[in-house]
Amino acid sequence: MLLNLSLFLLFLTASNITVQAIGVNWGTTSSHPLPPDKVVELLKSNKITKVKLFDADPLVLQALSGSNIGVTVGIPNSMLKSLNSSKKVAESWVHDNVTRYVSSGSSGVRIEYVAVGDEPFQQSYGEQYHPFVIGAAMNIQIALARVSLANQVKVVVPCSYDTFQSESSLPSKGHFRPDLNKTMTELLTFLTKHHSPFFATISPFIIPHRNKNISLDFSLFKETKHSRNDGHRTYKNSFDLGYDTLVTALSTAGFPEMDVVVAKIGWPTDGAANATPSAAETFMKGLMNHLHSKSGTPLRPRNPPIETYIFSLLDEDQRSVVNGNFERHWGVFTFDGQAKYNVDLGQGSKNLVNAQYVEYLSSKWCVVNNNKDLSNATASALDACSTADCTALSPGGSCFNISWPANISYAFNNYYQLHDQRADSCDFGGLGLITTVDPSVGNCRFPVELRTSHSESLYGVCLLQWMILVTINTILHDFL
């Protein structure tokens, strides 16, 4: 009887090791971010137990203190060169962004990973970060070891979906980009030595967006006749295809047993064709069902990724749109924490809980004054969109089909909201008009911004102070 009980407990322990967690990416590239305490409430309300950050904003980390949410703190690419050049800089970063939060015990932050760089190998960056990534990771690892946190906090490097590829689109031909071969071998050796997983982005949305030969249904986990055969293996969705392409790349590089964390995966809801709440809901439900089935993939059956982080928690109106206007619309929630659709993130509830007691600016909008000569209105709108977020006006976007001059009003209003509803930001040479009547049309929402501003964040001040410290340390390092 005791033997059976021991075996049962051993089985439970082994099972817990393989149970994979679902987390979210929390980005803060917003003109008016939802206050961190509201975001942490949102995470708790939806029973989200893991979150991946792209930096180490002190306000965000303070809000996460005592929450028992597992946290990945990020190091921006702009810091890699300094961290690579000096162990002192790495020690300062670890002290300021890890040690001080972890050392508070149960009232501190449960930091699990330090992500070195934000997809620094992304092809659009060229090779500008390649020389610094491994050195920066090593120095952070050494700094963590010096404060006895190396076993508790793992060092990882998030890799973009274009880090690995297959010319035939078949997983069996998967490999890392040739320009990354040497660096990737160094990274995988480092990760293996320190028992850290491989963080990778899987992007099923990008596949049909860029390859018209791939069925949309294939990416959305829909039952389809367009499955793809790779030898004796059959692929029924883009996730398995992308994941196994990475698995083959890892095997080809000599690391077939490497654990994988899907660091970013999601579906945008605006800014492009097929980027809709309906498609996103279909994708997310299909992904959740697939992950929770624990069926794994053809190359790794019954062995799904050890963790998966949904991209993203909230929309971000200041994200770069180099890869497409959809980049600002990955959120499961809108910028103000309201669910775009319903999905069970694995906590047993099909309905997401919205952010509560959100504070907005006044119910005022800026629209075009139809009583004025509008011959130059388009030029004014284009000027407004150079700083404001007008991505919903993109082909396929939620505001693409609103007629002129309503689209001009949309641009005017976003500029007005960006500038905290200042009266002079609705001037546009006399073409603007402030109204208290909501001009939203159908699915095209004219937003009212939050009563918060990124410029008010302590992060900007702390980042400046940290960069000054980095510069001083680097100068001293070079001098000595």
Supply the residues annotated as catalytic. 119
Q: Max alpha carbon distance in the chain (Å)?
A: 89
Q: How far apart are CA 199 and CA 263, in angstroms?
A: 5
Angle formed by the axes of helices 181-193 and 130-146, to 10°?
10
Structure tokens at 470: 């980095």
CB-facing half-sphere around the CA of 163: CA atoms within 13 A: 31
Among positive and negative, which fits the CA dihedral 123, 124, 130, 136? Answer: negative
Query: Exposed, middle or buried by CB within 10 Å (0-12, 13-18, 19+), for 3?
Result: exposed
Instruction: Tell me which residue of 163, 141, 132 sits closest to 250, measured CA to CA.
Output: 163
Instruction: Report the alpha-carbon distance of residue 337 to residue 350 in Å, rounded.
Output: 17
| 329 close to 271: Cβ distance less than 8 angstroms | yes
CB 337 within 8 A of CB 35: no
Q: Which candidate, 218, 204, 337, places its Cα nearest to that of 264?
A: 204
Give 251-289 as a DSSP string.
Answer: HHTT-TT--EEEEEE----SSSTT-SHHHHHHHHHHHHH
Residue 431 near residue 380, CB atoms below 8 Å:
yes
CA–CA distance, 118 with 54 (Å, rounded to integer): 7
Is residue 395 within a helix (H) or strand (E), and if so which, with residue range?
Answer: none
d(CA 412, CA 325) in angstroms, rounded, equals 18
Which of 132, 117, 260 lies closest to 188 in space, CA to CA? 260
Handedness of CA 57, 60, 65, 68 (dihedral sign): negative
DSSP sequence for 285-323 = HHHHHHHHTT-B-SSSBT---SEEEES-SB--TTS--TT
- Residue 221 Rama label (left phi>0; alpha psi -120 to 50; beta): left
